[in-house]
Structure 1
Amino acid sequence: NRMVSGRVAFFGIILLCTCSASPSLTPNLNRLAAEGLRFTDFYSTCPVCSPSRASLLTGRYQTRSGIYPGVLYPGSIGGLPLNDTTIAEVLKPLGYATAVIGKWHLGVGHNGMFLPTKQGFDHFLGIPYSHDMGPCKNLTCFPPDIKCYGLCDISNVVVPLMENEVIKQQPVNFLDLERSYSDFAANFITTSVEKKQPFFLYYPSHHTHYPQYAGIGAAGRSLRGPYGDSLLEFDTSVGHLVETLERTGVINNTLVFFTSDNVPELMRRSRGGIAGPLKCGKSTTYEGGMREPAIAYWPGTIKPGVTCEMTSTLDILPTLARLAGAELPQVMLDGVDMTDILVKQGKSKRETVMFYPVNPSEDYGLFAVRLGKYKAHFYTQGAFHSSTTPDKDCSALRKTHDPPLIFDLEADPCELYPVSEDESDIQSVLQQVKTVKEQFESSMVVQTTKNPKLDCCQEFCKRNL
């Protein structure tokens, strides 16, 4: 263990990540927020799953890894490149036990070559891709026998639950899934503590991604229907994790960080979540598409409060490396260290956030740039995932803005009122934004996409059934 401001840094790290996060009845998450540090200006790097997860685990934009356009499918041959360094691989040289439970969604590949066990994780229990990527019409999502809502992707094989590199169950039993995850997490933490081994647990939950599901303990108990039940079940799992940390005596030596991989899928209406006052949602580069909830909880080290400092999922890897005393990967990182924010509620080292669309290309480059309190849109585009809102911008075709649309996010986080070109200093801001954009894009070596849809994973799943 390393020292931070005279204190033992941490024994354990838990990184919680849920899909399409949205507020509801969540007493355990509320506790983390009340007793921890809540972020108001925290960003993902992409408004869909696989690219944002690649960035979270590597501290690098998805364009550097080739995880684009869109997401990986059961039939995709590619995955997160093995020469990219994950958080788990940063921590393992220091003796950390590493595990991931839940939604991987960063590739399977031939003979499982892109599974978590090939990316620095000692243990994996979960679904290798999104749980809607298989026929789900006849599967039970709620007791006693309520079928999952929708057809999902009927062209794929039924979704498998994997343990390490072996299929444990196919199709997945959604009613027991969260209990399996909670038991696995508790055993992992308990075993690590008994061995006096520091641990890193990455828990990318399937909740509250479509289709929602919940077991007996949560089904019908919320006031928000299936979506609320699903979120309640995830919140209960968070409570179990905290109880395990308390029972094993490492609650004050464990950093728990909660965020989301992307935003609400508004097309699902009441089953998709809401982005509050933020504009649009999933698959767009508006604030509703990429600004995320985030909480850092570490009793005795992180003081309760709220920070409006600009931060990103990119910043998780360099922060954990700094706190653990680990060496950073010898590559260009896009993340910055958040330690001063966490332990001193200080200022962020991040001055900008870059907004790539779901399908980035060198022809268009960045769609938007945030510099300080200002955000400049060079292109805007709606999306099918956000098309049910009354706001026509959320479903509009791509528009080019020259000069770019500029919003003051401190005064107008809803992106409703573009700043006039006549306002004082706005021309200076515009020039700064263009300079930052040009410098960033000149440093970006865009990797060729590794996401063709082939049948390797389907055949792998069939062979291991």
Structure 2
Amino acid sequence: MDHILLLYLNVFLFWSCTASPPNFILIFADDLGFGDLGCYGHPSSLTPNLNRLAEGGLRFTDFYCTSPVCSPSRASLLTGRYQTRSGIYPGVLYPGSRGGLPLNETTIAEVLKPLGYATAAIGKWHLGVGANGTFLPTRQGFDEYLGIPYSHDMGPCKNLTCFPPDVKCVGLCDVGTVTVPLMHNEVIMQQPVNFLDLERAYSDFATQFISKAVEKETPFFLYYPSHHTHYPQYAGPEAAGKTLRGKFGDALLELDNTIGKILTTLENTGVITNTLIFFTADNGPELMRMSRGGNAGPLRCGKGTTYEGGMREPAIAFWPGIIRPGVTHEIASTLDILPTIASLSGAKLPQVMLDGVDMTDILFSHEGGKRETMMFYPTDPNEKYGLFALRLGKYKAHFYTRGATHSSTTPDLACPVFAVLTAHDPPLVFDLEADPSENYPLRLEERPDLQDLLERIKKVKEQFEASMVFGESQLLKGEDPDLEPCCNPQCHPKPVCCECSPKAV
């Protein structure tokens, strides 16, 4: 315990002496599997900067997102609340969606703003656009935004270039809608976006934002939800063809390059020892894309499912001099990032029901986590079925199982869409420490010692579901083609006329 007390003393002394509250950088990869990074066991991923974070920081082995698809997972990350509370279900938001993250939900950026933090977001928002930009980041506590406001496959990409010199994007993506736009704040700067130049724009924006905040002696929060490892992958000249892992590996390398540029900027501005960098991902790999879809490592299935491969994610916390290097097996979640940032910054928590817990004990001592449970909702949660699965300590109970289109092509018959909804009573129970692949359900009838566990699981499930108030579904509000972002709003015929040349940011 002496080393823990000493660490806490060092943290206290650091905060007492520093003139500025800590800065926060939150990097959120897209469709990244538990086994996709070299520091998590992939033999041919080239990610030197993520490896640096893992070697010099804290690597999580049991870290979870809250949904196996994009929009609901992002809502939980930014609000510390399950997506069922905010109404970001079922499925994901689209360019013409009428709904979005409700403005009465409080994001991490809005938690930090009263303390004078500069806030910026770059990359994939995917929490709604709405009429006149109602749901964009600039309406949710962020001073600035540069990015594509939804998935970069949500527009026709047949003739777009994803790799130099002129390698076209794989697949058609979504047809019959506007091409994907690049937005600065609430203005479309380019449509369609130039994928080959996108990462340079992001890294330049991040560098300028950090440098400006440091110059003004202002604490900052930078949120970077990357597009890269989502299909179709893309990469510019600095990363294309540079890895042994093909297009997916090249895209991952380009994301890693930007992380490297952010680290260099923190070093050059002298604030790297006063900045917490947290890296994780929104959901598991899209296995239907095969080698272009990511890798779940030893975990079962992937995106779209409530098996471990769909919702257990790589996660790394890096803070030189404050977080000592190591590995933690404590259960933690994207839900916990908001209350942790609030605790570290001294910000007030939102006066709502939060599902996240403060994980500073894990960051500083690698143990003592406050989270014993994790709840697993499907892509289309509803009150009739409730939870699909629940983790309690090292045990995970599946009340329902179902495959998903996103996890098709794998030889495991539990993963594809053809694995129909199946109820389990009693639930399928797995010991995740012994069997993280969820291959061998415990024989409950042969284990009388597990009856108490079943009763605890049942009680925890009942208590949680009794506390869950489903918010109005934002997805069921439907879509309106007129809401699709168009740089030429009065042009005709849409959507093909929605094109514009690049503007300077």
Tell whether the structures are fold-level matches, with TM greater than 0.5: yes
Pair 1:182 & 2:166 matched: no
Pair 1:400 & 2:411 matched: no
Match of 2:3 in 1: none
Task: For 1:350 and 1:82, locate their aligned partners in 2 and report how far apart those are by CA, in whole Å.
Answer: 28
C-alpha RMSD over aligned residues? 1.2
Quick check: 1:109–1:456 contact (8 Å CA) kept in 2? no
Task: For 1:77 and 1:436, locate their aligned partners in 2 and report how far apart those are by CA, in whole Å.
Answer: 35
Task: For 1:343 and 1:108, locate their aligned partners in 2 and report how far apart those are by CA, in whole Å.
Answer: 38
Match of 1:19 in 2: 30
Match of 2:450 among 426, 439, 442: 426
Single out whichever of 417-426 and 429-438 deviates more from structure 2.
417-426
Match of 2:493 in 1: none
Match of 1:302 in 2: 323
Instruction: Spell out, residue by residue over 1:129-150, the C-alpha distance to the aligned partner (whole angstroms, 9 max, x if none).
Output: 0000000010000111110000
Query: What TM-score, normalized to structure 1?
Result: 0.98
Instruction: Spell out, residue by residue over 1:346-394, the C-alpha distance to the aligned partner (whole angstroms, 9 max, x if none).
Output: 2110010000000001110000000000000000000011011111000
Task: For 1:46 and 1:315, locate their aligned partners in 2 and report how far apart those are by CA, in whole Å.
Answer: 15
Match of 1:448 among 449, 464, 472: 472
Q: Secondary structure at the match of 1:463?
A: coil
Deviation at 1:453, TM superposition (A): 2.2
Task: For 1:337 and 1:379, locate their aligned partners in 2 and report how far apart those are by CA, in whole Å.
Answer: 30
Match of 2:67 in 1: 46
* 1:141-290 alignment, distance < 5 Å: 141-290=162-311
Deviation at 1:47, TM superposition (A): 0.3
Moved over 6 A (4+): none
Task: For 2:151 and 2:110, locate their aligned partners in 1 and report how far apart those are by CA, in whole Å.
Answer: 23
Task: For 2:125 and 2:485, locate their aligned partners in 1 and report how far apart those are by CA, in whole Å.
Answer: 18
* 1:378-389 alignment, distance < 5 Å: 378-389=399-410
Pair 1:411 & 2:434 matched: yes
Quick check: 1:365–1:441 contact (8 Å CA) kept in 2? yes
Task: For 1:456 and 1:255, locate their aligned partners in 2 and report how far apart those are by CA, in whole Å.
Answer: 41
* 1:121-160 alignment, distance < 5 Å: 121-160=142-181
Match of 2:137 in 1: 116
Match of 2:12 in 1: 5
Deviation at 1:462, TM superposition (A): 4.4
Quick check: 2:178–2:485 contact (8 Å CA) kept in 1? no
Unaligned stretches of 5+ in structure 2? 1-9, 38-44, 491-499, 501-505
Quick check: 2:66–2:73 contact (8 Å CA) kept in 1? yes
Deviation at 1:431, TM superposition (A): 0.8
Quick check: 1:148–1:213 contact (8 Å CA) kept in 2? yes
Instruction: Spell out, residue by residue over 1:164-220, the C-alpha distance to the aligned partner (whole angstroms, 9 max, x if none).
Output: 000000000000000000000000000000000000000000011000000011111
Task: For 1:460 and 1:68, locate their aligned partners in 2 and report how far apart those are by CA, in whole Å.
Answer: 25
Identity %: 70
Single out whichever of 343-352 and 379-388 deviates more from structure 2.
343-352
Pair 1:458 & 2:484 matched: yes
Match of 1:435 among 444, 459, 468: 459
Unaligned stretches of 5+ in structure 1? none
Q: Secondary structure at the match of 1:171?
A: coil
Matched letter for residue 119 of structure 2: T
Quick check: 2:79–2:338 contact (8 Å CA) kept in 1? yes
